[in-house]
Chain A
Amino acid sequence: MNRHVAWAALAATFTASAAFAAETAPMDVKFDDAGGVEASLTGQPGDPSKGAEVASTKSLGNCVSCHVVSALDASFQGNIGPELNGAGDRWSEAQLRGIVIDAKHTFEGTVMPGMYKTGPFIRPGDGYTGKAAPADLPPILNAQQVEDVVAFLMTLKEE
């Protein structure tokens, strides 16, 4: 390998690990007894407008496939779960973070999928291809997307 390229690759590795150092990995998330997660996953504030985008995009959170969220203008919102209007009044930020990361800690046996979880799964797939997942299957949402969605949920107040 050319020496300049090697240096560049090494530098990139350092930068990447520095950027991720502050992030909590899916396996290291600590849930409290009620299923909440106190600490931010990134230490960076969430962006509610990006969170709104994540919530209404099929390849991302796809929350509207199961929940009605009147603040989003996505068509055909589902009703598998409760309406999320007013969720910011009903739950604390920590509780909402826990629900988005892995709702099974809050609601035992719920059908709501864990958004920041990498296993163990039964026959995990590679997205919606039907093929086997790669060994390093990423969570559905990354850490900052989780924080963005939580920030968006906090804006859902009953008028």
Chain B
Amino acid sequence: ALSSAALHAEMADDELNINGDTPITVKAPAASHLEGHLDEVYSGWLFRTDDTRAMEQDDFDNPIMIFAEKGMDNWSVADGSEGKSCADCHGDISEGMKGVRATMPKLNAKGELWSMEDYINDCRTNRMGAEAWGWDSGPMHNMTVAISVQSRGMPVNVTIDGDAAPFWEKGKEMYYTRYGQLELSCASCHEENYGNFIRADHLSQGQIQAFPVYRLKNAGVVSIHNRFKGCIRDTRAETFGVGSPEFHALELYVASRGMGLDIEGGGVRP
């Protein structure tokens, strides 16, 4: 592995300012709980090529905005036996959902750790009398993107103490567990080797504040849990499912590693 000075040389020296009017913090001192692990935290955006970074600077070039628009259209469409839309209860999405993405995942009133997908499905099934959306379905992707855009430029703001602490601890333990026949942990790639290349892939710190992201490779939206699923699969492991208790805990812990960074509300990745 290279020295940390060399690592930093492998990263773009660039600033993200979406549409020229929404500056996004992509580099920040690490939260105190990362002491001894990381000094600074970086958005995955800094590890991408000039072309890919440019796509995220401007909404006309960011393919994820097509999905965001579909989600915003659906925001005011009534559905289910109650004949209600999201807008009926939450008002304008830009007000009702401002800052929500930055706090996810978080505990619900019953003390369960929920991701944004769970909150949306709770409203659909229990408040609208509509069917739940699949975790990685089109309407769910569209809605999570539309909601995430409303938190652009707001710092990651997850709660990790109190009743959330046991979930956070479990997620931390997973982060350092060496899974699969290749015996690699998240930290093997994203803490010990960010800035290095694994074949053609330039490793980032594996942060999630840009999610959901648009992946050029799939020409579609990728959720946080889906990314985790792929990374664990690539260690030749039996992976976990999207929406599993394990991925909820891991999401909270990984989100907390991004404290100090701003929500990007739709990143673009290769």
Chain A contacts to B: CB under 8 angstroms: 64-66, 75-80, 111, 113-114, 117, 121-133, 137, 140
Contacts and interface: CB of A to CB of B under 8 A. Distances in A.
Interface string B212-241: 000000000000000001001111111100
A132 B238 contact: yes
Interface stretch (B22-30, B134-142, B178-186): B178-186
B197 A79 contact: yes
A132 B239 CA distance: 8
B200 interface: yes
| Chain B, interface SS category | loop
Given A124-B237, A127-B236, A130-B233, 8 more contacts: A65-B198, A76-B200, A80-B1, A122-B177, A124-B181, A125-B239, A128-B236, A140-B181
A137 B236 CA distance: 11
B197 A76 contact: yes
A121 B179 CA distance: 7
A79 B189 CA distance: 12
Given A130-B233, A130-B239, A124 B199 contact: no
Contacts of B79: none
B196 A129 contact: no
B233 A79 contact: no
Interface residues of B, number: 28
| Chain A, interface SS category | loop
Given A80-B1, A130-B238, A121 B180 contact: yes
B199 A78 contact: yes
B183 A114 contact: yes
Given A79-B2, A80-B1, A122 B179 contact: yes
Given A80-B193, A128-B236, A130-B238, A123 B198 contact: no
Contacts of A77: 199
B179 A123 contact: yes
Contacts of B177: 122
B181 A137 contact: yes
Interface string B130-174: 000000000000000000000000000000000000000000000
B192 interface: yes
A6 B239 CA distance: 40
A122 B180 CA distance: 6
Given A65-B199, A66-B198, A111-B192, A122 B178 contact: yes
Nearest to A121: B181
* Closest CB pairs A-B (n = 7): A76-B200, A130-B233, A65-B199, A130-B239, A132-B238, A113-B182, A125-B237
